[in-house]
Chain A
Amino acid sequence: MDFLKKYPSLPAFIATLLIFTLAVTFLSEAYGTGAISTSFVKTLGKTLCLALVAISMDLVWGYTGILSLGHFAFFGLGGYMIGMWLMFARTKLIVVESMAAADIPATALEIKDAVGTQIFGVVGSSDFPLVWMFAHSFWAQIALVVLVPGLLALVFGWLAFRSRVTGVYLSILTQAMTLALSLYLFQNDSGLRGNNGLSGLQNLPGLDAVSQDAVSIWFFWASAFALLVTYLIANFVVSGKFGSVIRGIRDDEARVRFLGYSVEGFKLFVFVLTAIIAGIGGALYYPQAGIINPAEIAPIASIYLAVWVAIGGRGRIYGAVIGAGVVSLVSTYFTGGQAPNINLGFYTIKWVDWWQVLLGLSFVLVTLFAPKGIGGLFDLISGRLSPDRKGAPLGPDQGSLREEEAEQ
């Protein structure tokens, strides 16, 4: 039972996830009573993917103390990589079908040209840019889902950590990277259809006969499975000696360096690992969303990611999952127009308009008064206390935990 002692939250998490998955399955339209609509199944599946990327954010921010404002860019890149294959393969099927009606069967070149015209006609081009080199191959694009965010994180992280950019400077730098990437993708000649983005991703090639009801549940299962695996990996990473070192880096980077650890190496490993996790999350998210465009990668998305983790409770993995789940579901509730308006007599509060104000303010309040976030509630139940250090800091570094956040 060492295993469970080491990961105390694991049984509860696995049980919750399993029950949740089964419940959704048996209430879905495809495999159950139909109490949950297909679009809501998709929302839940997407939420699981957001929880996945929130875990990666928690690893990099809550455990290593790097407030990265670029992880949603990795998320988006993963989505773009899988989206290229989905779009290519499905367009090809449609083109081949439409060309089959002609007198003379089409050559491979004709098919390729027709697919190119279909996909890039919207940006006034018909040639495949170089980045679509592997779009015909499912496995190559799956590999790119991991490789592209991983390599970008590797290069960027290596440059940034090597020159010892830390704290808020690193945050601003990652934000600049995200902005540069989204601006680049907004251009038509980026080869990824500019601001049109990639669309029609919900239709899996060759599975036209299967209804979206079933496909949405499949993706839901895949997301749940990926979340589970990520949760295990994250727990594994933060529990052993490695976890101790990265927490040390968070609280006092200089001291860890003087102890002889390669701080840059540890940071780089976490940064790249989390970028890859984010990329995989994106690859699962965007087929459920159906469309991806550069606006998804805008810097503000990455800040929201930090918001979820902070509200859920940083520095604990289940906190990230709770934060992402709660904020995105509540956000769906309020912005979807389901929340009742509040009539004040002189003014009617429409939640569609005021939800973001509420989110912003609640975020300020959480930062100021509840740095443990929602995850802190579990400490109340289990009776764990924070250390009383009479205001002395836990560590001099900017990412280190606050007195109220840490466990005794």
Chain B
Amino acid sequence: MATPDRVSYWNKTRGLMFLMLGLWIFFGYVIHFFVSALNNIVILGFPLGFYMAAQGSLIAFVVMLFWFARKQNSIDEEHGVAED
């Protein structure tokens, strides 16, 4: 089962997973640690720290997921394990 191609497939898949997990930690937590500092920046009436929790991070999550679906699919195809 564990052919070299399979190993490389899983390494790439795992790499993508950790990248996504890193982005998730950044947008889900890290950026909100700085909410008070970010709130000093105001755009269109939105304090930036508040905006990130109310909209910014959410937009990032949505974009990340569509990008992930495409990226993972291209990894699948590259290794010949995509569905027909």
> Are A and B part of the same complex?
no
